[in-house]
Homo-oligomer: A and B are copies of this chain.
């Protein structure tokens, strides 16, 4: 489970660094974005549940993992850009793992199922959210019409439920993460989109 978390941080760090490359930022800004994308979601979670100082600033292993993703991008970015498809898979994998891990940490801290779902969701989407705010793009979680936060929320709910009813095990966690990942990738592949503002039955769109 711990290895999976490091993998999630690493891939999220890559996505942050790629955003820096697109903006032509310097190497230090790239590392800062790799760090904030890899560990920002966990930082929000830890502040919200009172687990301060957050692991995102205390753990060498976590920090170096996120920075390693950034350094990889610094040297490999033309090749990684060609691997764009693979990145989308990795990014979805990071989302899936972060959500499960974040929800479990919330439950372990005893903040209750509802708050655990929220902190699970924040762990999954928080890093990317801050990354997008910093590079001045619409946050992917809001912009994206394909399913992104919906599988994350369902996964967080399922995780909280299995912990609550004491049937959680690492295998269950892995299965939920896999289900989130699958749902996200299938929605991308099939171009499933969440509905926009309701337009009524056969009425012309009037909202603006």
- Hey, which bits of chain A sit against chain B, CB under 8 A? 20-30, 32-33, 43, 47-50, 52-54, 57-60, 63, 73-75, 77-78, 81, 109, 111-112, 114-115, 118-119, 133-136, 138-139, 141-143, 145, 148-150, 153, 193-198, 200, 203, 206-208
Contacts and interface: CB of A to CB of B under 8 A. Distances in A.
B207 A78 contact: yes
A143 B57 CA distance: 23
Nearest to A149: B28
Nearest to A152: B28
A194 B27 contact: yes
A58 B142 contact: no
Q: How many chain copies does the complex carry?
A: 3
A77 B207 CA distance: 7
A150 B31 CA distance: 11
A57 B121 CA distance: 11
15 contacts: A23-B138, A24-B197, A25-B196, A26-B193, A26-B194, A26-B195, A28-B150, A32-B142, A48-B52, A48-B53, A50-B50, A58-B114, A74-B197, A135-B138, A135-B142
B22 A208 contact: yes
B27 A78 contact: no
A78 B52 CA distance: 44
Contacts of A52: 47-50
A26 to B, nearest CB: 4
* A-B CB proximity, top 3 nearest: A26-B194, A50-B52, A57-B118
Given A20-B197, A63-B114, 6 more contacts: A20-B142, A25-B196, A27-B196, A50-B52, A81-B207, A136-B138
B58 A24 contact: no
